[in-house]
Amino acid sequence: MLALAMAGFSHGATAQQVGDPSESRGPRFLLATAERSRPVPVDLTRSAVLRRPLSLAFDSTPLKQALAEISRQAGLSLVYADDVLPAATLVNLRADHIAVAAALMDVLLDAGVDVVFTRDGRATLVKRPPGPAVQLGSIAGTVTAAGGGTLLPRATITVTGTRLTAEADAAGRYSISSVPVGTHRVRARMLGYAAADTSVVVEEGKETVVDFQLKAQAIELEAVVAVGYGEKRRENLTGAVASIGSEPLESRPITNTLAAIQGVIPGVVVERSGGQPGVEDFSLDLRGASSTNGGNSPLVLIDGVPGKLELLNPADIETISVLKDAAASIYGARAADGVLLVTTKKGTRGATRFTYSTNAAITKLTGMMDTPNNYQMAIMDNEANIHNGAAPMYTPDLLNRVRIGDPTPIPHPIYGSSGRMLFFTNTDWRKAVFENGFERKHTLTASGGGQNSSYYLSGDLFRPGRRDSICQRQ
């Protein structure tokens, strides 16, 4: 029965063609009433349910499965017996905003059934009453090339407006049977030849002979250039390919993609040549040094387009594949140092999906030795002066004041004339300037899609670790 009540049904003489059932290849939409012994046509223009828009994508889909999808989207539950529908029928239909009636008309074409509705809101598929026997004939002939008479095997011959078609055999002959009696247009076509068509009169029980002579025709084909900018299945590659997915990149609290792949992909050498927070400088190497006066960086393709890996957010990367051997040769001279194929994340069909991730890290200075305190520095200054043949800079009294951290400064013993003061307090200036930094990163993504499109939006906010100098704080 109908899951959603049928509303707005009416019947009229102009709603549908009500003639001989055999004249219509599609289903008829009928309304069964107690007042009439035979169902009457439904006015499709006044039925809200039959005009409801659908979005369908059927590719060799079984007929029953296609009907189930139409019923689900339309809010219908069609009732029919198993023997009503033809077995092993496949449906091919792709359409957006197609009406329920049009969808049923398409998938039930030549099925020999009608859709019958009742006043209480039920819909049933019933076999159409048999009409008079259809008178049939056949069409046969030969397809050759014009001028020389060369046979054209594999030429396609079609009866226009029907699903009747045939292919010429090795001798150029073809035959189409079960052609309804009447006048038809028959077309023959083959690649490299101009299509030809003619009008044919088919008589009952007779074979109509139609021969075609096709004229050669120059066709312009698009030039195919194998640039390699695209995706290739792993089994289609002839060389070894190293690759990683998104998990190793997302699990590391790193904001630079080059830093994220450091030590992760075999054979990929990533070197850091700068340490300024947020603007680190990296170099990438796959095949070693190949030039003494040029760069050795590999070709980076982001979704098939050359780009810079360091400008890409690691959270937006789906996979990274590395081509180092002959597999990179299809990319030309620019692939002399190898190729990195980067695939970014894509939206998937379904409702909008939001993801949020955040990470925090502490950055600190590395590779520095411990700094001596003021008293140790004063002792070393005195020793340096003595070894240099000069008098010690710090007297025993000054050394004692340095050791205890006397808060009262005095004019500098050597540079006092220029206004410099000597402080005795113990201050670790390197620690004050290069203090630890705290960096944060927030990433927000939105993805989704429909039947024919998808989307993936992402944004991230990065606050690098900040090391305030003593001058900035003062």
Query: What digits encode the pLDDT tens for the residues 195-232?
Result: 999 999 999 989 999 999 999 887 655 433 333 444 55
Tens digit of each residue's pLDDT (9 = 90 or more) over 97-154: 899 888 988 888 888 888 888 776 678 888 887 766 678 899 999 999 998 889 999 9
Residue 451 has pLDDT above 70, yes or no: yes
Tell me the percentage of the chain whose pLDDT exceeds 70: 79
Domain 136-214 grouped into CATH 2.60.40.1120:
yes
State pTM to two decimals.
0.39
Residue 82 has pLDDT above 80, yes or no: yes
Res. 172 pLDDT band, cuts 50 70 90: very high
Q: What is the pLDDT of residue 257?
A: 77
Q: Classify 377 in phi/psi space as left (phi over 0), alpha (psi -120 to 50) or beta.
A: alpha
What sign results for the dihedral spanned by CA atoms 304, 310, 311, 314? positive
Tens digit of each residue's pLDDT (9 = 90 or more) over 262-280: 777 777 777 776 666 556 6
- 255 and 462 in contact (C-beta within 8 Å)? yes
Of residues 177 and 406, which shows the higher confidence score?
177
Q: What is the pLDDT of residue 293?
A: 61
Question: Could you give the 3-state DSSP secondary structure of residue 389?
Answer: coil
Question: Could you give the 3-state DSSP secondary structure of residue 155?
Answer: coil
- What is the spatial distance between Cα 430 and Cα 373, in angstroms, rounded to a whole number? 11
- 53 and 98 in contact (C-beta within 8 Å)? yes
The pLDDT of 5-28, averaged and rounded, is 48
Domain range list for the chain: 21-127, 136-214, 234-344, 374-427
Task: Report the alpha-carbon angle 433-439-441, nearest 5.
Answer: 160
DSSP E strand boundaries for 250-338: 269-272, 282-285, 299-302, 305-306, 317-323
Q: What is the pLDDT of residue 219?
A: 64
CATH architecture of 21-127: 3-Layer(bab) Sandwich (3.55)
The pLDDT of 422-442, averaged and rounded, is 77
| 458 DSSP 8-state letter | E
- What is the spatial distance between Cα 215 and Cα 405, in angstroms, rounded to a whole number? 107
Tell me if domain 21-127 and domain 136-214 are identical in fold. Answer: no
| 346 DSSP 8-state letter | -
Superfamily designation of domain 234-344? TonB-dependent receptor, plug domain (2.170.130.10)
Among 50-54, 240-244, 361-365, the least confident range: 240-244
